[in-house]
Amino acid sequence: MASQLGRFGLRVLRVTASTASIIELLRSDWTGGVSAGVAWLLFVQFERRLQAGSTDEPEEPLS
């Protein structure tokens, strides 16, 4: 349950960072846009590593 909540939180952070990046770049705020883009990239990489590590362990089935 806690890992599902953590994954949901990570997805929320990823979507927020990508949205902020797009908005800041459209407003021509290059520093904010690039910073949010880098944050989005880090969240994506972390999520991929998390998924790669979880393939070794089967998840508990939901009741």
Query: What whole-number distance in Å separates Cα of residue 34 and Cα of residue 7?
Result: 24
Structural domain of 22: 10-53
Looking at the domain assignment, is residue 3 inside a domain?
no
Looking at the domain assignment, is residue 63 inside a domain?
no
Looking at the domain assignment, is residue 60 inside a domain?
no
Number of domains in the chain: 1
pLDDT tens-place string over residues 12-32: 999 999 999 999 999 999 999
Looking at the domain assignment, is residue 48 inside a domain?
yes
pLDDT tens-place string over residues 40-50: 999 999 989 98
Looking at the domain assignment, is residue 49 inside a domain?
yes
pLDDT value, residue 35: 95
Asked whether the beta carbons of 51 and 59 are under 8 A apart, the reply is: no
Q: Is the pLDDT of residue 3 over 60?
A: yes
Looking at the domain assignment, is residue 62 inside a domain?
no
pTM score of the predicted model: 0.73
What is the rounded radius of gyration, in angstroms, for the C-alpha atoms of the chain? 15
